[in-house]
């Protein structure tokens, strides 16, 4: 709340985030909810403090030149913290999971039923997703046998875990993701074992307004996620030194033109796509550094 009040301009800028008043109101509702998360609640069973590397991607893992299966070093520990297990447990960055990933089952992921009806590019994308989903399932099941507490923490409902994460991001991301957590929690209140009525309720008008806001927020981030995945980079635009930077710049420009051409798929105009493209300035002005 203090961060929001210090910078009212940021509180209403991109990404779609809700008004300043909505952001403050959602944070107040979150305070009410957290007063009910006592030691008898689900999260207490997996809340022991642990050390967990939260940025485990291929750029931070060094392997032996003689044996690629032999990890010799893991770097980038400067932001690591000790925190409750249910907040730390996650899939590594190199094993991303989609929203439709079936957590908690032993069934291996499969291609969609209409796979054979798709064109070649869509089939290629589904093949890519299936490979990632299979690797993630192996990681999940291995955690169940090798580290059962971590496995239990992975199965904590995402909206319950993200309630703690999203409230700390409102000054950056706005109220919409946190409000989504509150709505899901209010709907699942009794199923999670809480006694009595949820202290937070939403009217039908609230839900409809949130649905529209969340779609705008999701479209915005869908574009950013697409750019990161295809360009093989991260939030800051990091590119491995082995990659031809000029070629990556060209790919960035070509990808931007393609997404602008398909802008209606993201409920935006070509001009809006260009305005929110995450690597526009870098592709035009920056040069690779040593």
pLDDT digits (tens, 9 = 90+) for 28-85: 999 988 887 765 566 778 889 999 888 888 889 999 999 999 999 999 998 888 999 9
- 13 or 14: which leads in pLDDT: 14
The tens digit of pLDDT for each residue in 111-126 reads 999 999 998 888 988 8
The DSSP result for 23-87, as a single string, is: HHHHHHHHHHHHTT--TTSGGGGG--EEE--S---GGGEEE-SS-TT-EEEE---TT--EEEHHH
Confidence of residue 256 (pLDDT cuts 50, 70, 90): very high
- 288, pLDDT greater than 50: no
Decide: helix, strand or coil at residue 243. coil
Beta bridge partners of 84: 49
Classify strands 49-51 and 71-74 as parallel, antiparallel or unpaired.
unpaired
Q: What is the pLDDT of residue 90?
A: 87
Quick one: CA torsion of 138, 161, 17, 201, rounded to 10 degrees? 130
Beta bridge partners of 50: 83
Handedness of CA 131, 132, 135, 136 (dihedral sign): negative
Are 105 and 136 a contacting pair, CB within 8 Å? no
Residues with Cβ within 8 Å of 239's Cβ and at least 6 positions away in sequence, in order, are 231, 232, 233, 245, 248, 288
Which of 52, 80, 76, 58 lies closest to 153 in space, CA to CA?
A: 52
Across the chain, mean pLDDT equals 85
- 240, pLDDT greater than 70: yes
Are 138 and 109 a contacting pair, CB within 8 Å? no
Q: What is the pLDDT of residue 41?
A: 65
Is this structure's pTM higher than 0.75? no
In the chain, the percentage of residues whose pLDDT exceeds 70 is 92
Number of Cβ within a 10 Å radius of residue 224: 15
Q: What is the pLDDT of residue 285?
A: 41
The tens digit of pLDDT for each residue in 171-228 reads 888 899 999 999 999 998 888 777 778 888 899 999 998 998 888 888 888 899 889 9
Please, what is the Cα angle at 230 between 228 and 236, to 5 degrees?
20
Q: How far apart are CA 230 and CA 268, in angstroms?
A: 20
- 276, pLDDT greater than 50: yes
Q: Say which residue the tokens 């589904």 belong to.
A: 126
Distances in Å between the Cα of 288 and the Cα atoms of 238, 248, 255, 280, 282 are: 10, 11, 19, 15, 10
Q: Say which residue the tokens 């089952």 belong to.
A: 105
Task: Classify burial at 18, counting beta carbons within 10 Å of its beta carbon; exposed 0-12, middle 13-18, buried 19 or more.
Answer: buried
Q: How far apart are CA 240 and CA 76, in angstroms?
A: 15
Number of Cβ within a 10 Å radius of residue 177: 22
Beta bridge partners of 74: 61
Residues with Cβ within 8 Å of 220's Cβ and at least 6 positions away in sequence, in order, are 14, 15, 16, 276
């Amino acid at each position: 709340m203090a961060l929001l009040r210090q910078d009212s301009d940021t509180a209403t800028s991109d990404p779609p985030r809700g008004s300043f008043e909505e952001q403050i109101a959602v944070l107040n509702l979150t305070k009410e909810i957290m007063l009910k998360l006592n030691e008898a609640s689900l999260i207490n069973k997996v809340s022991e403090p642990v050390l967990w590397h939260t940025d485990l991607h291929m750029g931070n893992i060094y392997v032996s030149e003689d044996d690629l299966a032999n990890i010799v070093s893991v770097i980038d520990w400067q932001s690591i913290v000790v925190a409750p297990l249910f907040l730390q447990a996650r899939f590594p960055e190199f094993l991303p999971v989609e929203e439709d990933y079936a957590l908690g089952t032993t069934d291996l992921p499969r291609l969609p039923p209409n796979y054979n009806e798709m064109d070649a590019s869509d089939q290629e994308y589904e093949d890519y997703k299936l490979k990632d989903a299979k690797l993630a399932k192996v990681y999940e099941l291995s955690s169940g046998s090798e580290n059962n507490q971590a496995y239990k923490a992975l199965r904590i409902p995402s909206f319950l875990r993200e309630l703690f994460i999203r409230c700390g991001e409102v000054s950056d991301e706005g109220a919409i993701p946190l409000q989504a957590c509150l709505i899901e929690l209010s709907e699942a209140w009794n199923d999670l074992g809480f006694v009595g009525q949820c202290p937070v309720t939403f009217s039908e008008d609230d839900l409809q307004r949130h649905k529209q806001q969340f779609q705008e927020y999701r479209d915005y981030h869908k574009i950013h996620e697409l750019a990161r995945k295809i360009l093989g980079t991260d939030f800051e635009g990091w590119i491995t030194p082995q990659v031809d930077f000029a070629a990556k710049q060209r790919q960035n420009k070509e990808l931007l033109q393609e997404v602008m051409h398909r802008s209606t798929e993201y409920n935006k105009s070509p001009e809006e796509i260009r305005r929110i493209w995450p690597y526009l300035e870098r592709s035009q002005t920056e040069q690779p550094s040593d």
